[in-house]
Structure 1
Amino acid sequence: MKRSKIVLVGRRDPSELELTRVPQGTIIVVLSYEGDEFLLAMKFGAYAGLSSWLEAGPHTGVGTWR
């Protein structure tokens, strides 16, 4: 999986069903990669780190990182 191809679609609160399966205070993060969508459950602090890491990553065709 290439970081430059991961798209952070958004975040949301867990649905009623998800609330029975994830710890309290968790958010659901929606990512896509080459057309496939993924849901991750995490605390907001982890989301902040993930979103910063994705935003700071190299972009295909920009600079020397690929």
Structure 2
Amino acid sequence: MDVDLTNASWRKSSHSGPNGGQCIEVADGFAAVTPVRDSKDPSGPALLFSSIAWQSFVTAVRTGEFDTR
């Protein structure tokens, strides 16, 4: 799938600290996909996830599915 991200508006998680680190950015406003990129490499490649897959991932994170404690 080819998606034009030239004018994408990227945002970081509200949980990202001001010191950088290992953050991702997500671009909203795309009907079928959710673009995701490394915040430290904004001109690098973006991964495209189906909107359903991305929402499933976010839900799993919020409900602690990946917690190791």
Query: TM class, shorter-chain normalised?
Result: 0.3 to 0.5
More helix by share: 1
Structure number with higher relative contact order (C-alpha < 8 Å, ≥ 6 residues apart): 1
TM-score for both structures, normalised by structure 1: 0.38
More strand by share: 1
TM-score for both structures, normalised by structure 2: 0.37
